[in-house]
Structures are given as structure tokens and as C-alpha cells.
A and B are shown apart, each in its own frame.
Chain A
């Protein structure tokens, strides 16, 4: 609904560039203005639609105004979610029990997953990923945040570790391909890690080729990306701990470790939950890194990648949907835990 409105406003304008721009269409700059014109029209249309909805809700008859206002605030988001996520989720849940062509096949797809050696490897790998990445990213991020807290050059040090967060998975894949690059003994190494091994007198190693270690080397890439996120959030959270608490602990003669354990950790528990949740979910969905670096070969595949391959490369929609359902079930504990935390918070309030 919203998008239709948006389209109906934006399309005619975009179709007549003259309205926006009368210059001759012969330059890079024109390309730029044209596209930015489309963008501004789009933004204006969006704001107009949202503004109109809120305005109308405000003018609703007094008796039903509360309902209309509630709808105005919640409906745009929920409608979009319904189209883009809820319906696809339900559809996937249904397809998991079909062969992808609307023939019901019961739990065949799941039988296939749990009897196929490759899928079991993927399941195991996904489990390793979701245990390692949140743990190490949070642990390193937290350690780092504590170590640099209030130190000189804290900002710069933060930026350095956060930087990978700003890099796309495609870019990260390229960067780490250059790190892990392997050339056999006797050749000049192009990958830094192997060069270091050679410098200290060892043989170069094929990092991405030897299971099970290759999975861990891929995991390093995601830890590298996510640590910055954990660090920045936890650092902010540490700074929000009332100074009185820290002082009190210090006055009681607590050691640095005791302060960390008894003041810092309880103080940032809420943030820790959110950080770990966010990273866990991101990890379960990871597929770009594996796809660009190993394509899932040599036993490095993960469920999200298999799901994509099954559904789109091999046309096995049923298999893909069943894998998606398993992924969903794997995230469930994280969600349930968060819901409990949220409930508790609400009670406190």
C-alpha cells in the first residue's frame, strides 16, 4: 500500500527528467543529478505519505482517535513486515514439507538433511560458528574496551578496531584472501600469514584447504568484523556505569579484577545480552564470507549457504526451506532468552 503510493508519486516525476533538470543529458553530472533527483523525489514522497498518515490519524473522530493513532504508528511498519518477512516465513515453513512444487512430502526434507553427510557437516560448522564468533568477538571486544578505557588516544584506538565493521563482506573476503594466500615452498609468498611462517622457519600452510581448521580461519574473519561492534557498544556501556559504584568498590579495596567482575560486568549485563544476541543472529545468517572465500568447499559450508544453494542453484526449494526452518529453530533459544530478559526489565519498570 505504502509502496504503491510511493511509486505513484515517484514514477511520473522520474519519467520526466525535464521536471527536475533541464540541462542537456550528456554528462556524468547529469547521471548524478538524475539519480539524486530520483532519490529526493522518493524521500519527499515517503515523508509526505508518512506525514499524511499521522496528520489524518490526528484528525480522526475523537472516540476512535486512539485506535487510529495506534494504527498510524504501527501499521506502516507491520504491513511492510507482513509482506517482506512474515508471509515469506510462513511460506517457507510450508515449503519445508513439500518438494518445492506443492507436493506434500512430510518430513522427507529433514530426513534428507540428517542423512546427508554434507549437511551434517554444515550443521556442525554452523554450530561451531555460532559458539565461536559471539564468544570471541565479545570477549576480545570487552577486554579491549576495558583496557583502553580512559587511556590516552582512546578514540584512535577504538577507531582502529571498529574499522572492519565498516567493510563489506565482499571487501573483507578480498582482504582476507590476501592474508591467507598460499604459495608453495620456494616461491615468494603473497599472503602475510604464510610469509610470517616462512620468516620463522616453518613451511607455508594452506589455511583454507584443510578441514577442520579452515572453518576456524573463516571464523576469524567474522570475529575480526564483529569485535569492533562489541567493543564500541560495551565501551559506551562501561562509561555509563555510575562513577560512584566504581569509586565505592575502590574504596573498599577491590582489585582491578574485582572491580571488573563485581561492578563492570553487572553494570553492562544488559548490553552484553544485546551484543551477544545481535552477533549470534548475524553469525547464523553468515553466508557471504564462506561463499566468497571457499564457496563451501573442503567442508566449510554452513547452513545459510546450503540453503541458498539448494533453493536457488539446484532448484531444491523444499530442501532449502527445511534448512531455513532448522536455522530458525537454532535461533529460537537466543530469542527466548531475550524475551525473558525483556520481561524482567518490564517488571523492574
Chain B
């Protein structure tokens, strides 16, 4: 693991690329700085060769392989979805039998969502809790992380490098070890078992990765922009709001999605800091309780699980174009 970036290279099957790479790389590197036109290239002149390469890259085999991967990755979720539509009586059969005995039903969903008893299956209230936990749980760490990232990237001070490494290293503090001290702190200031406690906990746990990733991005902002603003007499706060935030939006969006998914899907933090009550606990807590009663809830579990993943899926599909922009943008030049 000493050099993961190299370990991870797919093992070449004795391909032709093995020999003569040295000079080749050099050519490319000089090519980057050299005189090739900004937009020249692909047009008609070099077309023949380039097309051939393109064909090779996206060969039918590659397409087939991609489709197989996509299929394998989708089947489990698809199976869950199908299982959620089956009548309770069919739980002894595999979900694929639905295609031979076609009787889809939404009963499981209605039982799970509105339920008939207080403690049982009433997911609606937990659903609200999940939102109320997740939105601030995403917003707070993002803003604080961006502020810190800006300072680490653009405000020189002694010990900056060391402090930044320390923050980065905090990612590895196991969450479990932070539970009891933090809970003591929250109860000390009287907010144990409330939404703010859960928000603050998520803020803390989201900060190290947020600062790290946003720093990578913010550090790539052209120094001229910031210098120009300073010359114009802008304060740090003004630079932060006028330059850093607008230019970092792609990174903010992508990390926001990441943090949203993490908070929405979290179980441990919410369980400890919400006190587990129906007033505060999120969907995952309820789902875990249902799963704990597997025997009795087997037919309801798929519907429950699907309800819990529908929001992250919507968020992802709606915002995925932001996700691919920005996240780690700076690091591509490593």
C-alpha cells in the first residue's frame, strides 16, 4: 500500500505498451507545452488515425464489458424494487418469479408509509426527520469547511502546513471513539437528543474531508484574481464572498451531494445523538429496527428500504452533472 496510485493500475496483459514508453511520455509532455494549436487536432487532418484509435478505445468488447458491469451493478437494486412490489404471500419465492406470476401490488408501500399503529411502520414521520437532519447537516459543514479551506489555501500563517495535515489526518479518527465525549459535551450544554445536537455532530464529522477536498479546489483558483482583489483593497471576507464562493460553486455542489448522501444514509451518529426517539430519529434508524425483526417484516423490508433510498437517488439524478464537475478538480494536474 506504500504507493497506492501505482498499485491500482490494471495489470496489463503483456500489451504492446510495455516497451518504449519512456520516449513516448516525453513526447507527450513536450507536446503539452509545445506549439500544437489550442483547438486544432481532431478535425479532418489527423482524422484517419484518430478515428482508428477511437474505434479501438470503444471497441464492441469494451461496450459489452461496460454493459455487463452496468447490468451487474443494477440487478441487486432492481431485485429489491421488484421484491417490494410483491404480495406478502410470495415471500417464500425469489423475486424473479414475479414475471411468471404477475401480480404487482403497492400494499407494502402503504403499510410501510401510513401503517396502522403508532410504533409500527409509520415511516412518514421519520422521513421528515431525515430531511430536517440532512439539510443543515449538509449546509453547516460546507460553509465552515469552505471558510477553513480558504484560510489554509490563501491566508499565510505559521504552522499552516502542519495544521492542514492534522485536519486531514482527523479523517481517520474512528467515529465510534468520538461518540461518548461528544455526547457528554452536548448534554453538558443541554442539547442532547435534539436536532441541533445531530446537526453539530454531522458538521464535525463532515469537516475533515470537506476541508481537504475544498482546499484542493480553492488552491487552484488563479492567484492573479485574488491578488487583484487585494490590491483593490478587498478584505478577506469580501474576497471570500465575491471570489471564492462563486468560483468554488462546482466543488461546493459536488461535495454537498456527497455530504447529503452521507448524512441521509447515516445510522450511528443519528442513533446516538437523536436519542432514538420518533421525534428526532431518521429513516435509517427505523429501517434498522425493521430489519432487526426480519422474520416478521420480511415482506415489508424491501418497500421500507426503497422508500429510504428514493430521496438520495433523486438528489443524485438531479444534481449529478454538478457532481462530476468540481470534485477534486484541482488534483487532475498532479
Contact = CB atoms under 8 A, between A and B. Distances in A.
Q: Do A and B share a direct contact in the complex (Cβ within 8 angstroms)?
A: yes
Contacts of A87: 181
A280 B261 CA distance: 18
B70 A242 contact: no
Interface residues of B, number: 152
Contacts, number: 453
Contacts of B284: 168, 170
B53 A256 contact: yes
Given A6-B196, A7-B196, A135-B7, A237 B328 contact: yes
Contacts of A174: 80, 287, 291, 301-302, 305
A227 B79 CA distance: 19
A245 B28 contact: yes
Interface string B72-109: 01111101100100000001111111000000000000
Given A38-B132, A255-B17, A327-B172, A143 B65 contact: yes
Contacts of B152: 74
A160 B70 contact: yes
Given A3-B200, A143-B65, A337-B4, A242 B32 contact: yes
B237 A42 contact: no
A73 B53 contact: no
Interface stretch (A114-122, A205-213, A266-274): A266-274
B125 A83 contact: no
Interface string B20-40: 010011011001100011101
Interface in B132-167: 132, 135-136, 139-140, 143-145, 147-148, 150-152, 155, 157, 161, 163-165, 167
Contacts of A307: 174, 176-177
Contacts of B56: 255-256
A151 to B, nearest CB: 6
Contacts of B323: 232
B69 A85 contact: no
A237 to B, nearest CB: 5
Given A31-B128, A168-B267, A73 B236 contact: yes
B198 to A, nearest CB: 10
A150 B58 contact: yes
B interface SS class: helix
A241 B332 contact: yes
A113 interface: no
Contact of B331 (A155, A274, A328): A274
Contact of A179 (B65, B76, B125): B76
B36 A244 contact: yes
Interface in B153-200: 155, 157, 161, 163-165, 167-178, 180-182, 185-186, 189-191, 195-196, 199-200
A76 B169 CA distance: 18
Given A190-B94, A247-B42, 6 more contacts: A6-B200, A85-B205, A147-B58, A256-B53, A273-B4, A274-B328
